[in-house]
Amino acid sequence: MQLRQCDVKKAKAELQEALGIANEVSFRNYRYGAVEPKAIQADRVTAVFNKYGINEIWGKYNRR
């Protein structure tokens, strides 16, 4: 939701490359948490979002 609409298509392609996937089903599995990214993939995903000025991508942790 923080990404500008004009950047969505390009960013999605970059995210798929960062994750090493090439299809919509795999992308959806990562997006909705069915598959967790490995540490190197998480670093690459973070870099893609940072490129677009988005720094809070993993959500806030619930502290008790």
Neighbours of 19 (CB within 10 A): 21
> What does the pLDDT read at residue 63?
45
Taking the C-alpha atoms of residue 44 and residue 61, their distance in angstroms, rounded to an integer, is: 20
Element (H, E) at 15: helix 8-19
What is the mean pLDDT of each successive set of 10 residues along the chain, which is 64 residues long? 93 97 96 94 96 85 47
Number of helices (H) and strands (E) in the chain: give both, helices first: 3, 0
pTM of the model: 0.85
Question: What stretches of the chain adopt beta strand conformation (E)?
Answer: none
Structure tokens at 17: 């490359």
> What does the pLDDT read at residue 11?
97
> What does the pLDDT read at residue 61?
52
Q: Where are the domains of the chain?
A: 5-51
